[in-house]
């Protein structure tokens, strides 16, 4: 375009109705050059078909321009530039137009609907000049339109580019190109400016365009921040080169986008590897190197170094190769992630570009999600790395941390030693172990205690259980020593008696006596206490009374007076009641009823009156020869036995209601009678046979007391079972006896009773 024609155009343009063509005011770059073309383009875009360039509106607009030119020519001389334009009419300028060809070929193009016949008629002689101006005008219009169109497309494309940079479509496009060795013009591109422009100019300067492309070296263009339009304007290039420059511009942009995608992809691969390495830091796959890059070390793979810095300096082919290698490497690893699976899929289908693109579209979609995960993981990894690096002072130590970090040492546990104090064998043994005649016994529990003794349940050899009685006494008290020796002798004497507790071993030292006996389970005192709140059961009373008498019989039959019979001195050993504690027992000389003791008597509750009376008698006696002696014999044991039976039936011993000294006095006082109620406090009927038995044992006169054998044969302990027939026989015999002997003496009655009882005894169960 010449300067004159440009000015003419500007003049013309300034004279035209700008409001009519200012629809596209926003496209003001370059502001004046593009206004007219933009107006045409804007007009044409308002219609849908490409033929709008030959539409009626364009025709009217052209006519309007011609009319304007007519007015201009009629009111003044044509400018000098018109001559130039006219002279250019026949030239073969590169700016030749379709309109020119139309004039030469008498042929109307599709560019305009201008009717040249009308122009000839109306313009007359100035036709040539007008045609020249028109040609120039058309040329300008075409160039301007082309420029404007390219600019708009460029802007649209730039806007689209900026938008798609943020979206998956952009990623898909760029990644598609990444894997194409020959990067073709993607058919997916919505706009191909070059094709569009070439279509518009196919009949005009297509050949010139290609010539320009051939002749000009635009490959080295550096656009900087300029777009093609700005670049053309800045460097004063012809607008006809705009398509070519735009093409170069877009190619460069594509290449930059591709490289950006590659950088992103490479960093993503790096992140995956970092993560997989971070999960196995102990396997020492990561090593920070001096140049702040990260080197992957894998025993099965050669050492590969991937810089974390910009990779823009690498060629796309190198990047692609590196990327593929990374993908292959990832396939070998056991790492399993969405992107990894996609890589696998890529590898399987790498022979098919179309499939690649399909897969890569999925990459771009999945990559968004994976990207977020990776970014989080990368941040975490980076934080952990920073922590490690901060905590360690030297790279050497860092290497140890990542490469050869040894397993953490087990925490040093402070060994707490429990030092037991040195113990003497005697103290330990004395507390838990007791040795009797070289045999050791381990204490288990305390069974009971007496005035000077303790009885333990112990475990001996073979884990057998025994009762160990430990008695402490005054070794210089002869009476005490004799008393304990007497107990041992009696137990030795009664050794094979089942109703006497068995003495298994004993050892007597200075002031200590150890007795090893068979062990009982419970004593009768414990049993009675257990049943204190239970209803009275005479079968229970009979059973334990008989058991007790059997024990006493054995002792009495052995000529021994126990002298201290009480419930606590009868123990149950495996269901058999046995008698214990012969501490104050004495052997009764043959044919002797009572013995006199000088030492402590038994428990007052169960003491016979004769023993207390004897004591009282002795104390009040003037005969000092008698001394402090108590008169005791077998009947004293039967008194004690009567007191135990009384306790089993009434709940307490006969003088249990008295306390302390009064109890002793009551026992000794013959005026204090023992009560034998027929009912218990719980209103339970007491058999007469039981009352009879108790009375027989608690006679104050020891001579009247029943012996152990008599008590054992008492009615209470030996009840009758009388049947109806026996009762019938008894009544018949009584009636016949009475009819024969109406008066009967007392002696005759006793004989009859004895006879009947003797017969009943034949029916005892
Ligand atoms: N062989 C044994 N088996 C089970 N228990 C026993 C045995 N020997 C004694 N005991 C329990 O130890 C208690 C005290 O025993 P023992 O009567 O022999 O001692 P003690 O010093 O004679 O007492 P006390 O002087 O009061 O008669 C008994 O009441 C009984 O409960």
Residue nearest to atom 24 of ligand 1 (CA): 450
For residue 467, give both structure tokens.
Answer: 């009762």
**Long-range contacts, stretch 182-189, CB < 8 angstroms, 24+ apart:** 183/254, 183/258, 183/316
Is there a contact between 506 and 488 (Cβ–Cβ < 8 Å)? yes
Q: Which residues does residue 507 pair with via DSSP β-bridges, in sequence order?
A: 514
CA of 450 to the centre of ligand 1 (A): 6
Residue nearest to atom 27 of ligand 1 (CA): 450
- Cα torsion through 759, 763, 764, 765, rounded to 10: 170
Q: How many residues does the chain have?
A: 765
ipTM: 0.97
Q: In what order do the strands lie in the sheet with 576-579?
A: 522-523, 570-573, 576-579
CA of 503 to the centre of ligand 1 (A): 13
Residues 6+ apart with CB under 8 A from 304: 295, 296, 325, 329
Mutate which of 449, 452, 453, 487 to test ligand 1's pocket (most atoms within 8 Å of Cβ)?
A: 453
What does the pLDDT read at residue 25? 32
What are the CA-CA distances from residue 511 to residues 186, 435, 517, 601 (Å)? 120, 16, 20, 22
Helix (H) or strand (E) holding 267: helix 242-278
Binding site, annotated residues for ATP: 469
Residue written as tokens 């590659």?
Answer: 262
Distance from C-alpha of 55 to C-alpha of 48, rounded to nearest angstrom = 11
Distance from C-alpha of 294 to C-alpha of 190, rounded to nearest angstrom = 40
Q: Kindly report whether the peptide bond that precedes residue 30 is cis, defined as omega within 30 degrees of 0.
A: yes
Q: What is the DSSP string of 464-492?
A: -EEEEEEEE--TT-HHHHHHHHHHHHHHH
Angle at 206 between CA 184 and CA 189, to 5 degrees: 30
Phi and psi based region of residue 653 (left: phi greater than 0; alpha: psi -120 to 50; beta: remaining): beta
For residue 610, give both structure tokens.
Answer: 């004769």
Ligand 1 atom with the shortest distance to the CA of 449: 14
Pocket of ligand 1 (CB under 6 A): 447-448, 450-453, 455, 467, 469, 501, 517, 519-520, 523, 564, 568-569, 571, 580-581, 583
Residues 6+ apart with CB under 8 A from 327: 269, 343, 346, 347
Residue nearest to atom 21 of ligand 1 (CA): 450
Q: Is residue 8 exposed (0-12), middle (13-18) or buried (19+ Cβ within 10 Å)?
A: buried
Mutate which of 469, 522, 562 to test ligand 1's pocket (most atoms within 8 Å of Cβ)?
A: 469
What does the pLDDT read at residue 89? 38
Residue nearest to atom 12 of ligand 1 (CA): 448
Phi first, then psi, for residue 626 (nearest 5°) are -65, -30
What does the pLDDT read at residue 616? 53
CB-based burial, 273-283: b 16+ in 10 Å, e otherwise: bbbbbbeebee
From the CB of residue 606, how many other CB atoms can be counted at a distance below 10 Å? Answer: 25
Is there a contact between 242 and 152 (Cβ–Cβ < 8 Å)? no
Identify whether 564 is a catalytic site residue. yes
Residues 6+ apart with CB under 8 A from 492: 503
Binding site, annotated residues: 469
Distance from C-alpha of 452 to C-alpha of 472, rounded to nearest angstrom = 6
Distance from C-alpha of 202 to C-alpha of 578, rounded to nearest angstrom = 138
Ligand 1 atom with the shortest distance to the CA of 581: 18
As a three-state string, the secondary structure of 61-115 is HHHHHHHHHHHHHHHCCCCHHHHHHHHCCCCCCCCCCHHHHHHHHCCCCCCCCCC
Residue nearest to atom 4 of ligand 1 (CA): 520
What does the pLDDT read at residue 507? 92
CA of 457 to the centre of ligand 1 (A): 11
Distance from C-alpha of 724 to C-alpha of 208, rounded to nearest angstrom = 155
Q: What angle, 0 to 180 degrees and rounded to 10, lies between the N-to-C axes of helices 56-75 and 127-165?
A: 130
Catalytic residue among 8, 523, 564, 581: 564
Distance from C-alpha of 687 to C-alpha of 681, rounded to nearest angstrom = 15
DSSP strand pairing (594-597 vs 294-298):
unpaired
Distance from C-alpha of 569 to C-alpha of 466, rounded to nearest angstrom = 17
Mutate which of 466, 521, 522, 523 to test ligand 1's pocket (most atoms within 8 Å of Cβ)?
A: 523
Predicted TM-score of the model (pTM): 0.46
What does the pLDDT read at residue 549? 97
Which segments of the chain have a pLDDT < 50? 1-63, 65-123, 159-215, 276-319, 322-323, 326-340, 342-343, 346, 349-351, 359-360, 363-367, 394-405, 418-428, 590-600, 617-628, 765
Distance from C-alpha of 559 to C-alpha of 553, rounded to nearest angstrom = 10
């Amino acid at each position: 375009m010449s300067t004159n024609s440009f000015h003419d155009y500007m003049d013309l343009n300034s004279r035209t109705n700008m409001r009519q063509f200012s629809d596209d005011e926003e496209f003001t770059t370059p502001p004046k050059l593009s206004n007219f073309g933009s107006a045409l383009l804007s007009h044409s875009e308002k219609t849908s078909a490409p033929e709008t360039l030959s539409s009626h509106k364009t025709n009217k607009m052209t006519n309007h321009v011609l009319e304007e030119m007519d007015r201009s020519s009629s009111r003044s001389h044509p400018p000098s530039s018109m001559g130039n334009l006219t002279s250019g009419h026949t030239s073969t300028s590169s700016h030749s137009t379709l309109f020119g060809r139309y004039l030469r070929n008498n042929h109307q193009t599709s560019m305009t609907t201008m009717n040249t016949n009308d122009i000839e008629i109306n313009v007359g002689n100035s036709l040539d000049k007008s045609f020249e101006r028109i040609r120039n005008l058309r040329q300008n219009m075409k160039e301007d339109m082309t420029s404007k169109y390219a600019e708009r497309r460029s802007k649209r494309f730039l806007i689209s580019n900026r938008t798609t940079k943020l979206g998956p479509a952009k990623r898909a496009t760029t990644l598609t190109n990444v894997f194409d060795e020959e990067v073709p013009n993607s058919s997916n591109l919505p706009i191909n400016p070059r094709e569009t422009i070439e279509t518009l100019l196919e009949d005009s300067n297509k050949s010139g365009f290609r010539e320009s492309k051939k002749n000009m070296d635009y490959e080295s263009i550096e656009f900087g921040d300029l777009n093609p339009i700005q670049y053309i304007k800045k460097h004063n290039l012809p607008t006809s080169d705009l398509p070519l420059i735009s093409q170069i511009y877009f190619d460069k942009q594509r290449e930059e986008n591709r490289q950006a995608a590659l950088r992103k992809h490479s960093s993503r691969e790096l992140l995956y590897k970092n993560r997989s390495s971070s999960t196995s830091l102990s396997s020492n796959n990561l090593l920070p190197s001096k140049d702040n890059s990260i080197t992957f070390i894998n025993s099965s793979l050669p050492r590969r170094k991937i810089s974390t810095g910009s990779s823009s300096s690498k060629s796309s082919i190198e990047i692609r190769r590196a990327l593929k290698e990374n993908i292959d490497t990832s396939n070998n690893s056991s790492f399993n992630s969405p992107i990894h699976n996609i890589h696998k899929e890529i590898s399987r289908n790498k022979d098919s570009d179309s499939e690649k693109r399909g897969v890569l579209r999925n990459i771009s979609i999945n990559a968004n999600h994976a990207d977020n995960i990776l970014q989080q993981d990368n941040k975490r990894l980076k934080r952990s790395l920073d922590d490690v690096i901060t905590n360690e002072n030297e790279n050497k130590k860092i290497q140890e941390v990542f490469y050869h970090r040894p397993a953490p040492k087990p925490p040093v546990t402070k060994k707490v030693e429990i030092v037991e104090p040195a113990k003497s064998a005697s103290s330990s043994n004395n507390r838990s172990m007791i040795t009797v005649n070289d045999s050791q016994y381990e204490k288990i529990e305390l069974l009971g205690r007496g005035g000077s003794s303790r009885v333990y349940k112990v475990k001996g050899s073979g884990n057998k259980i025994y009762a160990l009685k430990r008695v402490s006494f005054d070794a210089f008290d002869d009476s005490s020593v004799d008393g304990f020796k007497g107990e041992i002798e009696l137990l030795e004497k009664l050794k094979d008696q089942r109703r006497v507790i068995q003495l298994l071993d004993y050892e007597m030292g200075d002031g200590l006596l150890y007795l090893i006996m068979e062990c009982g389970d419970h004593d009768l005192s414990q049993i009675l206490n257990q049943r204190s709140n239970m209803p009275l059961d005479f079968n229970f009373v009979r059973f334990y009374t008989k058991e007790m008498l059997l024990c006493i019989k054995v002792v009495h039959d052995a000529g021994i007076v126990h002298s201290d019979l009480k419930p606590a001195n009868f123990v149950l050993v495996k269901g058999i009641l046995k008698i214990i504690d012969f501490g104050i027992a004495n052997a009764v000389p043959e044919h002797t009823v009572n013995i006199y003791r000088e030492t402590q008597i038994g428990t007052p509750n169960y003491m016979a009156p004769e023993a207390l009376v004897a004591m009282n008698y002795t104390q009040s006696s003037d005969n000092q020869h008698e001394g402090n002696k108590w008169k005791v014999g077998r009947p004293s044991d039967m008194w004690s036995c009567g007191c135990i039976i009384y306790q089993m039936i009434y709940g307490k011993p006969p003088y249990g209601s008295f306390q302390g000294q009064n109890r002793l006095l009551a026992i000794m006082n013959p005026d204090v009678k023992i009560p034998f109620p027929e009912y218990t406090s719980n209103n339970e009927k007491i058999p007469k046979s039981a009352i009879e038995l108790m009375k027989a044992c608690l006679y104050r006169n020891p001579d009247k007391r029943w012996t152990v054998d008599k008590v054992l044969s008492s009615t209470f302990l030996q009840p009758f079972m009388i049947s109806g027939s026996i009762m019938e026989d008894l009544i018949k015999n009584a009636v016949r006896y009475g009819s024969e002997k109406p008066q009967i003496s007392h002696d005759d009655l006793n004989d009859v009773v004895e006879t009947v009882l003797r017969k009943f005894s034949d029916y005892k169960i």
